[in-house]
Amino acid sequence: MTDPDLDVAVLGAGLAGLRAAELLVDAGLSVRVFEARDRVGGRTLSEDWHGARVDLGGQWLGPAQTRVAALAARLKIDTFATHVAGDRLVDLDGALTRERSAGRWPTLSQIAEKLGKRYVDALAARVPVDDPRGAPDAARLDATALAQWRDRMLPHDGLRQLFDVSVKTVFGAEAHSLSVLYFLWYLQTGGGYGAHVDVTGGAQERRFVAGAQALSLGLAAKLGARVVTGSPVQALDHDATGVWVTSATGRVRARAAVCAMPPGLVAKLAVTPGLPTSRARTLARMPMGATVKVIARYERTFWRERGLSGEAVSGAGPVSYCVDNSSADGQHAMLLGFVVGRDAVDWSALDAATQRARVLAQFGRWFGDEATRPMAFRAHDWADDAWAGGCPVSNPAPGVLTAEGPRLAEPVGRIFWAGTETATVWTGYLEGALESAERASGEVLTCLGARDAPR
């Protein structure tokens, strides 16, 4: 038996890994967090840009996301409401419609509302978040592409386009690559369709003044030297009493590991003995969504002056969804666009000038000529970040959910699993990352018999 160097090695200093580390440290355990990048925060990344704090990754907080709210309060990170006052634009088939927003996802009519949200929510409510295989007709729903179901369910082409845009924006993936069961399950982990797609009352309701990465930065500050950045884990060897973690900084023995990396990176990790075949198969069938964020900075929020909220939803590319991204005080005027799904894939093939021109042409069409002349413009393609492979979430292919269930969280020996994809509450969001950290750290404490360990 080798004396361990520490109690728990945490792989990944995203929100899940850092929160798990905090909980384990609070329970009196010795912990080291290995982070491949030279920064913490995973799929959140906040930067100062032309005098304003901008989020290049996850950036929002919804009212039902209580863990995030509590953490922000504890770390004294202020939040503010996403700007939605004014009219929203809906751009479908070349026609631009102006409509009252109230922060809800666009609806073409009350019928659409009923069909599109309430019906979907009723279906989603039948999917148990901790085991979607228990849903009525689960196998068939998992073998049915969401695109097929959408064609059958939505009687109007405009509705279908709006639905597709919402799917692309939420998952970073097209409706033809997701199963109906996964879609419903995902909705249900957040409490329904509106909870995911709405600003007001939904997951985009509030923002962080200091940027979403501040959550991770705050946790990392508390953990101090326990967090080692620039240290990708090359190999994880495990046995009955612990793990060996091999990284650029050497080989370390721990009594347990919490792996808080995206599924695509877990798939690449050299784990010995190897992961169970079923797990490996699932990991190979969970591609990360494709999301590019584009931000244009302006002198002033000229769209607000015209009674527009800055929100726009488009059936055409490249930007599917646009929203006002100005600072809390409105002084730093910005529009944020999402290039998602297939549009994000096509994006990589364009040169930077073409990317910019296409986005600004859309912004101009929506908000007037002034929108084509930003002070500054930037784009962040998460697929270019090899330590993420995309954003916002890894989506299982059709059939995977019923074949394997949500077993990504199931421990493999002394390896425990965190990360938003392992969550059953708000999977894919910051909230899910925190929930997964609570669950995984609890499993570690039970395993190590440290549930009631003194600090």
Point out which residues bind a copy of itself (CB under 8 A).
143-145, 147-148, 174, 176-177, 179, 264, 267-268, 274, 276-278, 280-281, 284-285, 287-288, 290, 342, 345-346, 348-349, 381, 383-384, 386, 389-390, 397-399, 403-404
DSSP-derived secondary structure for 418-441: -SGGG-SSSTTSHHHHHHHHHHHH
Nearest-angstrom CA–CA distance, 118 and 280: 36
Which residue, 134 or 274, has its beta carbon nearer to a copy of itself?
A: 274
Closest separation in Å from C-beta 411 to a copy of itself: 17
Q: Residue 204 corresponds to which tokens in the numbers above?
A: 């985009």
- 3-state secondary structure string, 9-68? EEECCCHHHHHHHHHHHHCCCCEEEECCCCCCCCCCCEEEECCEEEECCCCEECCCCHHH
Q: Taking the CB of residue 174, how many other CB atoms lie within 10 A of it?
A: 20
Which residue, 201 or 411, has its beta carbon nearer to a copy of itself?
A: 411
Mapped onto helix, strand or coil, the DSSP state of residue 120 is helix
CB 25 within 8 A of CB 226: yes
Which residue, 52 or 400, has its beta carbon nearer to a copy of itself?
A: 400
Which residue, 348 or 446, has its beta carbon nearer to a copy of itself?
A: 348
Closest separation in Å from C-beta 77 to a copy of itself: 32
Which residue, 215 or 383, has its beta carbon nearer to a copy of itself?
A: 383
Beta-carbon contacts of residue 371 (< 8 Å; ≥ 6 apart): 296, 298, 302, 303, 335, 360, 363, 364
Closest separation in Å from C-beta 209 to a copy of itself: 32
Nearest-angstrom CA–CA distance, 370 and 231: 45
Pairing of strands 242-247, 95-100: unpaired
Q: Rg of the chain's alpha carbons, rounded to an integer?
A: 22
Nearest-angstrom CA–CA distance, 356 and 372: 10
Closest separation in Å from C-beta 288 to a copy of itself: 7
Beta-carbon contacts of residue 207 (< 8 Å; ≥ 6 apart): 55, 59, 60, 61, 79, 80, 81, 82, 328
Which residue, 278 or 331, has its beta carbon nearer to a copy of itself?
A: 278
Closest separation in Å from C-beta 237 to a copy of itself: 15
Q: How far is CA 84 from CA 113, 166, 175, in A?
A: 19, 17, 27
Residue given tokens 């002033």 in the structure block: 300
Closest separation in Å from C-beta 390 to a copy of itself: 7
Nearest-angstrom CA–CA distance, 104 and 44: 24
Residue given tokens 């920064």 in the structure block: 39
Closest separation in Å from C-beta 294 to a copy of itself: 16
Dihedral sign for Cα atoms in the order 133, 447, 278, 419: positive
Which residue, 141 or 434, has its beta carbon nearer to a copy of itself?
A: 141
Closest separation in Å from C-beta 108 to a copy of itself: 23
Cα 199-201-205 angle, rounded to 5 deg:
45
Which residue, 117 or 279, has its beta carbon nearer to a copy of itself?
A: 279
Nearest-angstrom CA–CA distance, 76 and 210: 10
Mapped onto helix, strand or coil, the DSSP state of residue 258 is strand
Which residue, 23 or 267, has its beta carbon nearer to a copy of itself?
A: 267
Nearest-angstrom CA–CA distance, 18 and 32: 10
Closest separation in Å from C-beta 147 to a copy of itself: 6
Closest separation in Å from C-beta 274 to a copy of itself: 6
Which residue, 405 or 442, has its beta carbon nearer to a copy of itself?
A: 405
Closest separation in Å from C-beta 262 to a copy of itself: 11
